[in-house]
Amino acid sequence: MTTGLSTAQLIEKHRPARDRALEAIRSREFWSPHPEHPKAYGEGGSLSAEAGQAAFDALRGTRFALDDQPGADGEWTATESSPYGLELGISYPHMDADVLLPAMRAAMPAWRAAGPEVRAAVCLEILSRISARTHEFAHAVMHTSGQAFMMAFQAGGPHAQDRGMEAVVYAYEEQTRTPESASWSKPQGKRDPLDLSKRFTAVGRGVSLLVGCNTFPTWNGYPGFFASLATGNPVLVKPHPRAVLPLALTVRIAREVLAESGFDPNLVALAAEREGEGLAKELALRPEVRIIDYTGSTAFGDWLEANALQARVFTEKAGVNTVVIDSTDDYKGMLANLAFSLSLYSGQMCTTPQNLLIPRGGISTDAGEKSYDEVVADLATAVSKLLGDDARANALLGAIVNPQVRERIESAPSLGEVALPSRAVEHPDFPDATVRTPVIVKLESAKPDAEAVYLSECFGPVSFAVAVDSTADAVSLLRGTIRDKGAMTVGAYTTSPDAERLIEDACLDECAQLSLNLTGGVYVNQTAAFSDFHGSGGNPAANAALCDGAFVSDRFRTVEVRRPA
Amino acid sequence: MTTGLSTAQLIEKHRPARDRALEAIRSREFWSPHPEHPKAYGEGGSLSAEAGQAAFDALRGTRFALDDQPGADGEWTATESSPYGLELGISYPHMDADVLLPAMRAAMPAWRAAGPEVRAAVCLEILSRISARTHEFAHAVMHTSGQAFMMAFQAGGPHAQDRGMEAVVYAYEEQTRTPESASWSKPQGKRDPLDLSKRFTAVGRGVSLLVGCNTFPTWNGYPGFFASLATGNPVLVKPHPRAVLPLALTVRIAREVLAESGFDPNLVALAAEREGEGLAKELALRPEVRIIDYTGSTAFGDWLEANALQARVFTEKAGVNTVVIDSTDDYKGMLANLAFSLSLYSGQMCTTPQNLLIPRGGISTDAGEKSYDEVVADLATAVSKLLGDDARANALLGAIVNPQVRERIESAPSLGEVALPSRAVEHPDFPDATVRTPVIVKLESAKPDAEAVYLSECFGPVSFAVAVDSTADAVSLLRGTIRDKGAMTVGAYTTSPDAERLIEDACLDECAQLSLNLTGGVYVNQTAAFSDFHGSGGNPAANAALCDGAFVSDRFRTVEVRRPA
């Protein structure tokens, strides 16, 4: 498939979506051009479920060649293993950075000269090609992240594509705030004015390194990928060794579109690493690398921020997400909503609540006063009911992504009184998959040994029902948790305007995104592109938000050339 | 003087200038609301030269009290000495950061709640109060930086105020890109849509530390000061110990306006340091400090970037500015323009050219072929003529800011053949002022010992006429210099389209601001707010530009609160 389109035609083709997306980020109203439902991609055609499955199957057990990418050193790496136990057997070319990085830098001048409008159009064409292969990506994301199919489809497909498009239009808008040229005429009283003619060019910083993550390779990867590419930077993609395929497909598609549009395909390249190579650390310190996007552990994120001083580093790290439970006028809705949030993808989201702060004296609800023990027991029941049916449990939970998460579930009972034990769920199609329901542990906020437990991120389906003195106590704990540990999300339930103001003030003071009284089909762990900010960038969980001006504005610089008019 | 204006009235008062400034940064056409000519401030009135002189004189030999600023520890510091030898004798209160910083943080919530429009209006009111005292500031800048009066008046007054206003409107625009609230409704097929109501609040990061510089306390200080204040951050001003007064006046005015407008004056505070205290280093690592603006040495700028990891650090450091001389169709204009650039403020600007690259075989001009030796000799003559009259020399040169610069001038003859020796100029009003004309030294580009000389920043009125093989050789040297040493400015003279393209490409590739063929009344070392970018932020001389989206966008974060509609 080739576009056969000139860059002018690409601009025409994508202008309506670009302008609509620009409108959406200004209004923050709902919008998405990428269909969420698998059936929307038709039956039998090239976009269909069947075609996607076939394309994915054809990749298994093969070498994923990127023939024209320079610097292949002859080695092939195969580091993936599906959390579902499916044999992937895909190997990727290993590269020599000393050859690849100079080739990437050499691609910059023509990409810079193309200007922001052409770059945006090429990026949107890449996204539309990715969108056409959403079913194939769904399998790739499912079998690397362990997400259930529907989630892999939606979060790894349309939602990730939305986030990518959002970054493209933020980048476009930022670069076009300054005009391409200007006439400057300064009056000099009776003398002739001083006249200059000025040209302004958006110039990329240099090679942008994307360090991918295991759980959301496309959703967390696309914002940085497209923000950097759209602002004139070559992007080197270093996927997580367990989630290479979704980003390798992305790289291949991007290289195809770039070449077809007349640009050097080396503007996008793959750096697959061998087992235990520590390639991200090596690449992050290369002088050619001037931008880094990273999602993962706090330890490595902090290391990047402290050591990759030649680069602008955007990090999303660990955090401890809190839900304050003060009161509710929809007890059933609250329990159902929380049960879903704790269960989705087995809590393996950076946005999943970990600490549920509940007053020891209980809470007021539309179903009467509920004691701390009752709230915890009712929540445990809600989770058990939600996941009582194995088919539904599998569809919601997905698979445990790695042995460390499984170990955390297994050792959770040692942390405190178990309110809800985890159970293993059989997967009908993938008997080797590790599928586990969430565990809820009761803790006392004031006990020092408990504090050490709930104030550490326990990534995976382990949450803590923390008994607190009062809502005021909960808010104080919330503040300290955000300040010291960071938070991608905060949730709260209250019918009291006073409590609501306390919680809001805490989130404004400590810079965390707050979801209030969610009882329906929106969950604290989900954000929508073009409307919601993912993270705030203002607490230790992340130094940037997806997506805002700051996420794109420092990826390029504006070079001015002025001369007498 | 009090405004007696409500915040709504302040918004009304400053809306026309705000909107005009927003238009200017979009069009990059000439605009300034701050009169450049001293006479524009009237005679006899409160804005007049006489009033400014009297106000400045009244400050001398006194304690500069900031009575209501918390944390004064009882000590008074007096570290200034006028480069003109005028006795200043002003002492400033020393503060206890453990008291002051918490008081500043406590001022944040109300300032945040005011919103971006009120914050912009209050900032513009501060600027208009500063503007009304431009004559007073001119003396303060003159007697701390050593700038001649007219330059201190313009660069320290209207031009600095322009840069401050530019930062205010960039900050305003950036914060208002996201609406205050939004309704989000996601269709669910046949079911009811998911409806959320969302509120977005711009939230400052925390205390912003301004580390001032000696040579341009207001011009280099105002962008960061106003960008941070306008985005909701308290600003702690730590002036250079030799240039406290201009920023102390700024702090006092800001505190007055804040208090009159109903805000906590502790949103702006002064941290004057005692001799040799190293206060910037101490404050930079305080956890309350989340933003740092710094202008000064590369060594301390690099230290801040590597160590103040809790803060977003904006630095302007040293660089080596180059002018490539290939050819010209206005030889006389070129020489006059360069002579002025080298002389202005005795070359003590971060934007003054240092290395003049001239082909060994000479250049083509409208006055015939000129050999390397002729070009250098003619430039030396042009400088000598420009500064031949002592009154004009004093008006242009100002005073040498510190003994280190004087030593550099004195040791310049040891670096190579002197094409133009420096001479001492008597100042009729200030016999103790150190006034020196520039020195030009001839160097051979290829000689290793020469390379070590011209590839180091030699801050002050010392420039190098570097003989190169060819224009291509000059461009290659230009590239390496920008990449390795950084550059705030690049100049070039050429009539050849090929040479022009080579030079432009080098500046685009290495990210430096280029001025071509300046032969009239615009100089490579000057930039105009609302139109020119000061620095690129993309080479080692600075990690940010004044002023663009990136300079403001990461000083605040957007916190979202969403709830069912």
Q: Distance between CA atoms of A533 and A536, rounded to whole angstroms?
A: 7
Which residue from A138, A290, A151, A150 is spatially nearest to A224, judged by alpha carbons? A290
Q: Assess whether pLDDT exceeds 90 at residue B4.
A: no
Q: At what angle do helices B134-145 and B108-132 cross, to 10 degrees?
A: 90
- With CB atoms and an 8 Å threshold, state whether B185 touches A518: no
Cβ atoms of A358 and A465 within 8 Å: the answer is: yes
* Confidence grade of residue B80 (pLDDT, cut at 50, 70, 90): very high
DSSP 8-state class, residue B39: G
Cβ atoms of B297 and B277 within 8 Å: the answer is: no
Residue partners of B94: CB distance under 8 A and separation at least 6: B72, B73, B74, B75, B76, B77, B272, B273, B274
Query: Is any Cβ of chain A less than 8 angstroms from the Cβ of B210?
Result: no
Contacts of B516 in chain A (CB under 8 A): 561-563
- Closest by Cβ to B29, choosing from A182, A188, A201: A182
- Rounded to 5 degrees, φ, ψ at B70 are -70, 155
* CA–CA min distance B523, chain A (Å): 11
Q: Distance between CA atoms of A29 and B543, rounded to whole angstroms?
A: 35
Complete DSSP assignment for A59-115: HTTSB---TT-TTEEEEEE-----TT------BEEEE-HHHHHHHHHHTHHHHHHHH
**Alpha-helix residue ranges (DSSP H) falling in B157-244:** 158-175, 222-230
- With CB atoms and an 8 Å threshold, state whether A182 touches B531: yes
Query: Is any Cβ of chain B less than 8 angstroms from the Cβ of A110?
Result: no
* Helix, strand or coil, per DSSP, at residue B30: coil
pLDDT at B3: 58
Cβ atoms of A238 and A280 within 8 Å: the answer is: yes
- With CB atoms and an 8 Å threshold, state whether A179 touches B521: no
Q: Distance between CA atoms of A452 and A443, rounded to whole angstroms?
A: 11
- Closest by Cβ to B28, choosing from A109, A184, A505: A184
From chain A residues 288-307, the ones with a CB under 8 A of any chain B CB are 305-306
Q: Distance between CA atoms of A563 and B21, rounded to whole angstroms?
A: 23
* Confidence grade of residue B371 (pLDDT, cut at 50, 70, 90): very high
CA A111-A116-A122 angle, to 5 degrees, is: 65
pLDDT less than 50: residues of chain A = 1
Q: Distance between CA atoms of B401 and B460, rounded to whole angstroms?
A: 9
Which residue from B204, B174, B398 is spatially nearest to B288, judged by alpha carbons? B204
- With CB atoms and an 8 Å threshold, state whether B184 touches A514: no
- With CB atoms and an 8 Å threshold, state whether A558 touches B545: yes
pLDDT at B20: 98
Which residue from A48, A44, A26 is spatially nearest to A35, judged by alpha carbons? A48
From chain A residues 28-87, the ones with a CB under 8 A of any chain B CB are 28-30
Q: Distance between CA atoms of A300 and B456, rounded to whole angstroms?
A: 35
Q: Distance between CA atoms of A320 and A490, rounded to whole angstroms?
A: 9
Paired tokens of A65: 């060649």
Q: Distance between CA atoms of A269 and A274, rounded to whole angstroms?
A: 16
Residue of A nearest to B535 (CA): A559
Half-sphere exposure at residue B528, Cβ-oriented, CA atoms within 13 angstroms: 25
Query: Is any Cβ of chain A less than 8 angstroms from the Cβ of B549?
Result: yes
Query: Is any Cβ of chain B less than 8 angstroms from the Cβ of A23?
Result: no
- Closest by Cβ to A205, choosing from B519, B521, B538: B538
- With CB atoms and an 8 Å threshold, state whether A184 touches B521: no
Q: What is the pLDDT of residues B423-474, one digit of tens each?
A: 999 999 999 999 999 999 999 998 989 999 999 999 999 999 999 999 999 9
Query: Is any Cβ of chain B less than 8 angstroms from the Cβ of A315?
Result: no
- With CB atoms and an 8 Å threshold, state whether B184 touches A528: yes
- With CB atoms and an 8 Å threshold, state whether A519 touches B554: no
- Closest by Cβ to A522, choosing from B196, B515, B522: B196
Q: What is the pLDDT of residues B292-309, one digit of tens each?
A: 999 999 999 999 999 999
Query: Is B68 exposed, middle or buried (CB count within 10 Å of its CB: 0-12, 13-18, 19+)?
Result: exposed
- With CB atoms and an 8 Å threshold, state whether A200 touches B28: yes
Which residue from A117, A68, A60 is spatially nearest to A91, judged by alpha carbons? A60
- With CB atoms and an 8 Å threshold, state whether B200 touches A30: no
pLDDT at A1: 47
Cβ atoms of A263 and A256 within 8 Å: the answer is: no
- With CB atoms and an 8 Å threshold, state whether A514 touches B548: no
Q: What is the pLDDT of residues B485-539, one digit of tens each?
A: 999 999 999 999 999 999 999 999 999 999 999 999 999 999 999 999 999 999 9
Complete DSSP assignment for B88-134: ---BEEEE-HHHHHHHHHHTHHHHHHHHHHHHHHHHHHHHHHHHHTH
- With CB atoms and an 8 Å threshold, state whether B194 touches A309: no
- With CB atoms and an 8 Å threshold, state whether B508 touches A109: yes
* Number of CB pairs, chain A paired with chain B, less than 8 A apart: 195
- With CB atoms and an 8 Å threshold, state whether B548 touches A536: no
User: What average pLDDT does chain B have?
Assistant: 97
Q: Assess whether pLDDT exceeds 60 at residue B1.
A: no
Residues B46-56 have a mean pLDDT of 97
CA B18-B23-B28 angle, to 5 degrees, is: 125
Q: Distance between CA atoms of A388 and A14, rounded to whole angstroms?
A: 46
Cβ atoms of B230 and B123 within 8 Å: the answer is: yes
List, in order of start, the domains of chain B with CATH numbers.
Answer: 64-317+545-564 (3.40.605.10), 322-516 (3.40.309.10)
- Closest by Cβ to B194, choosing from A174, A201, A520: A520
Beta bridge partners of A183: A197
pLDDT at B414: 96
Contacts of B351 in chain A (CB under 8 A): none
| C-alpha A72: how far from chain center | 29
Q: Distance between CA atoms of B456 and A402, rounded to whole angstroms?
A: 53
Cis peptide bond upstream of A547, omega within 30 = yes
Residue partners of B555: CB distance under 8 A and separation at least 6: B171, B204, B205, B208, B227, B228, B231, B233, B291, B312
Q: Distance between CA atoms of A474 and A358, rounded to whole angstroms?
A: 8
Contacts of A521 in chain B (CB under 8 A): 188, 194
- With CB atoms and an 8 Å threshold, state whether B517 touches A563: yes
Q: Largest Cα–Cα distance of chain A, in whole Å?
A: 88
Chosen from A198, A334, A554 to mutate, greatest number of chain B CBs within 10 A? A554
pLDDT at A2: 56
Q: Distance between CA atoms of A382 and B128, rounded to whole angstroms?
A: 61
Half-sphere exposure at residue A538, Cβ-oriented, CA atoms within 13 angstroms: 29
Query: Is any Cβ of chain A less than 8 angstroms from the Cβ of B177?
Result: yes
Paired tokens of B204: 């400052």
pLDDT at A4: 76
Which residue from B307, B310, B280 is spatially nearest to B296, judged by alpha carbons? B280
Cβ atoms of A121 and A9 within 8 Å: the answer is: no
Q: Distance between CA atoms of A559 and A71, rounded to whole angstroms?
A: 31
Q: Could you give the ipTM of this predicted complex?
A: 0.97
Query: Is any Cβ of chain A less than 8 angstroms from the Cβ of B550?
Result: yes
Q: Distance between CA atoms of B341 and A344, rounded to whole angstroms?
A: 65
